[in-house]
Amino acid sequence: MRYRLYIAYSWIFNDFAAQLSQHLIDKLKALLRPSTLSSLQLFQLTRYSGFVLIGITFAKLGIPKEKIGQFESFLWLMGLFSFFWIAGLMNSMLATYPGHTPEGKRKLLFATFSLIVMLSVVAGAVQLATGGSIFGLAYLLFNNAAYVIEYILFLSDRRRQLIVYGISMALIQFALCVVPVYIYGDIQLSIYGLIAVSIIKFLYVVFLLRRHTITRYERARVQELFVASLPLMLSFFVNGSAEYIDGSVVKHYFSMADFSVFRYGSREFPLFTILGATLSMSMIPRVSADLDAGLDAIRRESLRYMHIFFPIAIVSMLCGRWLFSLFFSPQFAMSGHIFAAMMLLTIPRLVFPQTVLTALRENRIILYCAIAEMLVNIVASILLAQCFGLVGVAYGTVVAFIVERILMGTILYIRHGIILTRYLQITPFVTYSIITCISYALSLIF
């Protein structure tokens, strides 16, 4: 009898152990196999964090703020010449991609690459004409063309390859930017490192184009893509101008050392900007294909992001000054104040009317709202900078961003009858927003 009980209990225990082991294995596989969306987000986060890590290392190496400002000024200037048309082109491509045949999709990707190369040459020529350098032209050409890589891998569902690519490029970029500066102490060498990395990425994109696209230039397709993207390019120029308006205000009213302090603080938390932007872009094809299902997906995913973003924002606000003094140096303590103010952008960033408007092809509406945001940002940043210094520039950005989201949501309701609650869960959003504002007020006191 005891033997039979032993056999029965052994069988039950072994069965339970087998089920538990299988459950753990399944969980491990899920971690090692990220979704298509999360793989793109991890890639973007890796790339963004790489620049933050370079900045931290420069500060820890004791490089003067004025020298760091030169490196940040180069990145800022290169972004100024290309950020808007890259974003507009990619969003337009993603909005039309689901409606193409398999062959049409491959042609569209190559047309996107072709248009990026042509516009990069134009952007490089403009920066040369305005006092730029041949290094700026090289960086714009090679680095911009490489933006196609992440979307080829994303749209072909090559998740692991995308993540490996992101980590590899971040490590190579860190080595080529930091090691020469550490050895020779010349910040100009870090700019050469950026160009070297961009050339490596360009060679890789050529390899991917030959494997995943039809490498045949079609003038009509490129023209069609440019015309479709132009309104979005203009809207992103206006809408994404906040970083460059802020930078211009800081350059005009403050020193180069202050510029590096502001740049470090105004980057926000990379997790927020990257995950929020990639969520918005990845939802465009879903909303385009099925409006109701897409709105439900935005509502569901935005709630999930609230439970992640808001708690991190609250803790970051309260610890901002201390964190910047620890990770950078005490001379960047003011960056912590700016960072805490920029954390207020968490509130409008978790509302996604722009995603729905883009999917509905309301590109002109997006442009008009972006123009309104830019005008508010210019006026608010200048006025608040006079009152609050560097932090006032950050306040101006927050005010402008909130105005734009309110305007977009209102127009979306008037033109399409889509109310805010259709793509946003109000109660948790309002609760988190109130707690975030209180936390910021406390960060000013302590």
Would you state the structure tokens that stand for residue 51, as one six-digit string?
């620049």
Q: What pLDDT, on a 0 to 100 scale, did the predictor assign at position 36?
A: 60
Give pTM, 2 decimals. Answer: 0.67
Q: What pLDDT, on a 0 to 100 scale, did the predictor assign at position 11?
A: 42
CB atoms within 10 A of CB 334: 18
Q: In terms of Cα–Cα distance, which of 222, 223, 230, 229 is closest to 107?
A: 222
Q: What pLDDT, on a 0 to 100 scale, did the predictor assign at position 37?
A: 59
CA distances from 59 to 46, 184, 271, 329, 339 (A): 20, 16, 21, 6, 17
pLDDT tens by residue, the chain, 446 residues = 444 434 443 443 344 344 434 433 343 344 345 566 567 778 877 887 888 889 888 888 888 878 888 888 888 888 888 888 888 888 888 878 877 888 888 888 898 999 999 999 999 999 888 888 888 899 999 999 988 888 888 888 788 888 889 899 999 999 999 999 988 888 889 999 999 999 999 999 999 988 888 888 888 888 888 888 887 887 777 766 777 788 888 878 887 777 878 877 776 655 676 667 777 877 888 888 888 888 999 999 899 989 988 998 899 888 877 877 777 777 777 888 888 898 999 999 899 998 898 888 887 888 788 888 889 988 999 999 888 888 898 899 899 989 999 999 999 999 988 999 999 999 999 999 999 999 999 988 76
Convert the chain into a string of H (helix), E (strand) and C (coil): CHHHHHHHHHHHHHHHHHHHHHHHHHHHHHHHCCCHHHHHHHHHHHHHHHHHHHHHHHHHCCCCHHHHHHHHHHHHHHHHCCHHHHHHHHHHHHHHHHHCCHHHHHHHHHHHHHHHHHHHHHHHHHHHHCCCCHHHHHHHHHHHHCHHHHHHHHHCCCHHHHHHHHHHHHHHHHHHHHHHHHHHCCCHHHHHHHHHHHHHHHHHHHHHHHHHCCCCCCHHHHHHHHHHHHHHHHHHHHHCCHHHHHHHHHHHHCCHHHHHHHHHHCCCCHHHHHHHHHHHHHHHHHHHHCHHHHHHHHHHHHHHHHHHHHHHHHHHHHHHHHHHHHHCCHHHHHHHHHHHHHHHHHHHHCCCHHHHHHHCCCHHHHHHHHHHHHHHHHHHHHHHHHHHCHHHHHHHHHHHHHHHHHHHHHHHHHHHCCCHHHCCCHHHHHHHHHHHHHHHHHHHHC
Which amino acid appears at position 330 of this protein? P
- Residue-range domain boundaries for the chain: 35-229, 240-446
Q: What pLDDT, on a 0 to 100 scale, did the predictor assign at position 143?
A: 92
Site of tokens 């809408």: 239
Q: What pLDDT, on a 0 to 100 scale, did the predictor assign at position 331?
A: 74
Contact 241, 377 (CB under 8 A): yes
Alpha-carbon dihedral sign for residues 213, 215, 220, 223: positive
Q: In terms of Cα–Cα distance, which of 167, 138, 142 is closest to 53?
A: 167
Q: What pLDDT, on a 0 to 100 scale, did the predictor assign at position 191?
A: 92
